Structure 1
Amino acid sequence: MYLPRHFQEQDPERLLAFMRRYSFATLVTVEQGAPFASHLPFLVEPGPEGSQVRLLAHMARANPQWRALSPDTDVLVMFQGPHTYVSPSWYLTEPNVPTWNYAAVHVYGRPRIITEQDEWMRVIRELVTTYESGFEQPWSVERAGEYVPRILPGTVAFEISVSRVEGKFKLNQNRTPEDRRAVMERLERSDDPEQRAVGALMRERDT
Structure 2
Amino acid sequence: MYLPQHFAVTDPAVLFDLMQRFSFATLVSVHEGRPFATQIPFTVYPERNLLASHMARANPQWTSFDQNQEVLVIFQGDHSYISPTWYAKHPSVPTWNYMTVHAYGKVQIVEEPEAVKALLHDLVVSYEQQWKMEELPQDYLHGMIKGIVAFQIEITRLFGKFKLSQNRSRADQERVIAALEQSPHPGDRAVARQMKKRLEQV
Query: TM bucket by the smaller chain?
Result: over 0.9
Task: Give deviations 1:46-67, integer Å, cap 9, x for gaps.
Answer: 354xxxx110000000000011
Match of 1:3 in 2: 3
TM-score, normalised to structure 1, is 0.93
Residue 93 of structure 1: CA displacement?
Answer: 1.8
Match of 1:95 in 2: 91
- The answer (yes or no) to whether the contact 2:32–2:64 under 8 Å persists in 1 is no
Q: Aligned runs of 1:166-181 on 2, under 5 Å? A: 166-181=159-174
* SS of alignment partner, residue 70 of structure 1: coil
Task: Give deviations 1:165-185, integer Å, cap 9, x for gaps.
Answer: 010000100001110111012
Whole-angstrom CA distance in 2 between matches of 1:182 and 1:68: 48
Match of 2:137 in 1: 145
Percent of residue pairs bearing the same amino acid type: 47
Whole-angstrom CA distance in 2 between matches of 1:131 and 1:113: 23
Whole-angstrom CA distance in 2 between matches of 1:132 and 1:46: 20
Residue 82 of structure 1: CA displacement?
Answer: 1.2
Q: Aligned runs of 1:1-207 on 2, under 5 Å? A: 1-48=1-48, 53-133=49-129, 138-146=130-138, 147-207=140-200
Residue 198 of structure 1: CA displacement?
Answer: 1.3
Letter in 1 for 2:86: W
Residue 16 of structure 1: CA displacement?
Answer: 0.5
The runs of at least 4 consecutive aligned structure 1 residues that moved more than 2 Å come to 204-207
* SS of alignment partner, residue 162 of structure 1: strand
Whole-angstrom CA distance in 2 between matches of 1:144 and 1:202: 45
Whole-angstrom CA distance in 2 between matches of 1:36 and 1:91: 39
Count of residues in correspondence between the two structures: 199
Task: Give deviations 1:125-184, integer Å, cap 9, x for gaps.
Answer: 111100114xxxx21101212122221111000000000001000010000111011101
Letter in 1 for 2:137: G
Structure 2 unmatched ranges of 5 or more: none
Residue 103 of structure 1: CA displacement?
Answer: 0.7
Letter in 1 for 2:42: F
Structure 1 unmatched ranges of 5 or more: none
TM-score, normalised to structure 2, is 0.95
- The answer (yes or no) to whether the contact 2:110–2:152 under 8 Å persists in 1 is yes
Whole-angstrom CA distance in 1 between matches of 2:160 and 2:9: 5
* More divergent stretch after superposition (110-119 vs 87-96): 87-96
* SS of alignment partner, residue 173 of structure 1: coil
